[in-house]
Amino acid sequence: MTIQWFPGHMAKARREVTEKLKLIDVVIELVDARLPMSSRNPMVEQITAGKPRLIVLNKSDMADARLTEKWMHALRKDGVDVIAVDAKHSKGLGQIHEGALRLMKDKHDRMRDKGRNPSAIRALIIGIPNVGKSTLINRLAGRNIAITGDRPGVTKRQQWIKMKTGEMELLDTPGILWPKFDDQLVGYRLAATGAIKDDILNIDDIALFAIRELKSRYPEQLKARYRLQDVSGEAVEVLEAIGKNRGFVTGGYVDFERTSEMLLHELRTEKIGRVTLETVEEWATVTE
């Protein structure tokens, strides 16, 4: 489901997250490992200020493992507590409790010094739509929980869910925040990976963007998947060659829409291999 993020919705989402923050000890910020910066909310630091935060690079099974390592290294150097998981296949989830304990260590030590036993850590999962919040809550709970639709402002009674592993409780309603979609590059990156729906941007444009990205970042994977000798031409020529190879031709012309849909589907389902569409170095130059 696509959320149309109007200013009123953003204000409401922000208010809802701020309310939930009062109830919890630790924020678990879910990010897409394929887009560690573009899949973050532009105001997340400000919104969650004052709460210990664990950044979780999710969908790491679909991301470039080498680049995930580099991202974690760079973020840790900046003092950010970050881990990588694959919520869908329950990989690495033990690190979440460990991370939360790390973040709470000083507070817990102080409590123990006073002879008090720390209670279970309470956590809130936040992130932009489609980043895997519901999947993660279900995996951590060890059962399927009806999670409020992908819509800010849909209210239901909040409940605490005990985690399968570790003394920790989660709010069953994640905090949904908006992406940085006013930046065109960010919008295309989110669209290419399927984080935002196709109807927001033109499908051919998303596919051409994806080809340009793959041509420069993962040319060998692109060549191998579509049996292409050379991908150095214009993106539109590469897309045409892909359409021809797949036999998406009618009346002598390549059906670009069908080819674009197929390419994006394959990119989003890892048929073209694992990809990460932004690097630490690129972000360093943007934020300087």
SS3 state of residue 208: helix
- Burial of 217: CB neighbours in 10 Å, binned 0-12, 13-18, 19+: middle
245 is in an annotated binding site: no
Give the residue closest to ligand GDP by C-beta.
132
For ligand GDP, which is the closer residue by CB, 90 or 245? 90
| Cα angle: 197, vertex 200, 206; to 5 degrees | 80
CA distance 19 to 199: 32
Q: Is 134 annotated as a binding residue?
A: yes
Q: Kindly state the smallest distance separating residue 238's Cβ from ligand GDP, in Å.
A: 26
Cα→Cα distances 116→105, 108, 168, Å: 14, 9, 17
Q: How far is the CB of 48 from ligand GDP (least distance, A)?
A: 17
- Where along the sequence are the contacts to ligand GDP (CB under 6 A)? 58-59, 61-62, 86-88, 127, 129-135, 150
> What stretch of H or E contains 127?
strand 121-127
User: Is 172 marked as a binding-site residue?
Assistant: no
8 A C-beta contact, residue 63 and residue 275: yes
Minimum CB–partner distance for residue 85 and ligand GDP (Å)? 7
Q: Which is nearer to ligand GDP, 144 or 184 (CB)?
A: 144
Q: Which residues of 67-85 are buried (b: 16+ CB within 10 A; e: fewer)?
A: bbebbbebbeeeeebbbbb
Tell the smallest beta-carbon distance from residue 8 to ligand GDP (Å).
Answer: 21
Q: Could you tell me how many residues make up the chain?
A: 288
For the CA atoms of 50, 130, 216, 233, what is the dihedral angle to 10 degrees? -150
The reply to whether 51 sits in an annotated binding site is: no
Are 17 and 177 in contact, with CB atoms under 8 Å apart? yes
User: Is there a binding annotation on residue 216?
Assistant: no
Is 131 marked as binding a ligand? Answer: yes
Is 90 annotated as a binding-site member? no
Rank residues 97 and 238 by Cβ distance to ligand GDP and give the closer one: 97
63 or 211: CB nearest ligand GDP: 63
Residue 285 beta carbon to ligand GDP: minimum distance, rounded to whole angstroms: 29
**In the complex with ligand GDP, which residue's Cβ is closer, 99 or 129?**
129
Binding-site residues from annotation: 58-61, 130-135, 175
Q: Which residues make up each annotated binding site for GTP?
A: 58-61, 130-135, 175
